[in-house]
Structure 1
Amino acid sequence: MFWYEEEVKRLEKLQKTLEYQPQTAFYGSSTFTLWQSLYQDFAPFQPVNLGFGGSTLAACTWYFDRVFKYQKSLDNIIVYAGDNDLSNNRHPEEIYIFLFQLFEKVKERYGDIHCSYVSIKPSPIRWYLNDQVKYTNMIIKNEIEARQNPYWHFVNIYDNYLGYDNRPNPQYYENDGLHFNTQGHTILKEILLKHLSQIKQV
């Protein structure tokens, strides 16, 4: 995990620069780290961007105690990670285990706050992992639904990024075939704003 150290140190310092107590934390990999307009897009929910590039769910769980130094102001944690785990040859069920370990860490620190897992996206360059992506998404979705915890949520974004041929639509990705471009982030923004508005009413 040492290769994430500089990024984690950056996140540890971030809390000292915010001018407000955050209510919604975005935690995970470069899908969040590279989201340039995140703070503006989610301003009504007082966001903090805790993404760190290349992170895995394993790393998110490992570094949780260092990154989450915020007091009881948080109402929501949005998690996006998992595709880097798969590309590092981790089994889908390992990812499943790391996620629920993370959710339990959140509960231990913050009590009952909303934890939302954003499904792993399809991406052109990692299409060879598609069966594992779909299986990972399925077992996480099924477990969240089975536990019937009103504070745990699965947010499916997978289908929104497919084209007419049921393959990733390249118009939503940077030239690397992996990261979202502005159009890709706009879709994700709309999905998450709707989700956050719905759980706020619960």
Structure 2
Amino acid sequence: MELIDNEIKQLVQRVRVEPPGSIVFYGSSTIRLWETLEQDFSQLHLLNLGFGGSTLAACAWHFERLVVPAQPRAVILYAGDNDLGENRQPEEVYLFFCALAEKMQRYLPGVPVWFISIKPSPARWSIIEHIQKANTLIASEIARLPNAEFLDLSAMMLTGQGQPRTELYQPDGLHLNANGYALWRDQLMQRCDALRTIQVEMA
């Protein structure tokens, strides 16, 4: 817990010195460990606010401290993985997302939010049914929200036989490697025109 608290304090300090109006990537260590993020999207003003071990519940809890002061022009979110890994039920993860979505609507009305689907990792393949259900519940909620999009990258992270593509992951079978981030980058790049439009319109 102390390590997470220290990490949050460092991110709070970073937000204070960063100019407002970035596209915020927010969430768990899958976001935090995206070391090539700014290089991958060099044409955009990005801010990485991922923190290690983060749950979707923690993302909702720290939202006012981290995301709101950044005054983002868009939020790209990845979380929920660790909640399920801690034996939370899909319905609980859905409620955590709803809490975060409510804060988005309250504090950042009109700001687009994109949720990247919880990945089907080898390390958590034993709970794949929970992962799929959580994704389905969150996607259904996002469909009702204004300025929100569910980015379903799950299918392309599976083999033709429906198994996780191990070449996308680090040896721990949980975190993405360069191949995994390249796949995410390519999918998000297809939406970069929309992100650039957001930055231009809100400049």
Aligned ranges 1:52-71 → 2 under 5 Å: 52-70=51-69
Contact 2:110 2:146 in 1 (8 A): no
Who is 2:130 aligned against? Answer: 132
Contact 1:21 1:46 in 2 (8 A): no
- The percent of aligned pairs where both chains have the same amino acid is 37
Contact 2:55 2:81 in 1 (8 A): yes
1:109 aligned onto 2:113:
no
Q: CA deviation at 1:107?
A: 2.1
Aligned ranges 1:30-109 → 2 under 5 Å: 30-70=29-69, 72=71, 74-109=72-107
Aligned with 2:190: secondary structure? helix
Could you report, residue by residue, the CA deviation over 1:167-191 in whole angstroms, capped at 9, with x for unpaired residues? 1111111111111000100000111
Who is 1:152 aligned against? Answer: 148
Q: CA deviation at 1:198?
A: 3.6
Who is 2:9 aligned against? Answer: 9
Contact 1:118 1:155 in 2 (8 A): yes
Aligned with 2:62: secondary structure? helix
What is the alpha-carbon distance in structure 2 between the residues aligned to residue 61 and residue 47 of structure 1?
Answer: 20
Aligned with 2:128: secondary structure? helix
Q: CA deviation at 1:106?
A: 1.8
Aligned with 2:38: secondary structure? helix
Who is 1:28 aligned against? Answer: 27
Contact 2:15 2:66 in 1 (8 A): no
Who is 1:170 aligned against? Answer: 166
TM-score (norm 1): 0.90
Could you report, residue by residue, the CA deviation over 1:12-55 in whole angstroms, capped at 9, with x for unpaired residues? 1112443x434200000011111110011123221100000110
Contact 1:162 1:168 in 2 (8 A): yes
Q: CA deviation at 1:143?
A: 2.0
**Gapped regions of structure 2 (runs ≥ 5):** 199-203
**Are residues 196 and 104 of structure 1, via their aligned partners in 2, closer, same or farther at CA, if it must alter by over 3 Å?**
farther
Contact 2:11 2:49 in 1 (8 A): yes
Who is 2:179 aligned against? Answer: 183
Which deviates more, 25-34 or 94-103? 94-103
TM-score (norm 2): 0.90
What is the alpha-carbon distance in structure 1 between the residues aligned to residue 2 and residue 77 of structure 2?
Answer: 21
Who is 2:201 aligned against? Answer: none
Structure 1 residue ranges (4+ consecutive) displaced by more than 4 angstroms after TM superposition? 199-202
Which deviates more, 34-43 or 123-132? 34-43
Aligned with 1:153: secondary structure? strand
Q: CA deviation at 1:133?
A: 0.4
Question: Cα RMSD between the aligned structures?
Answer: 1.8
2:119 is matched by which residue type in structure 1? K
1:86 is matched by which residue type in structure 2? L
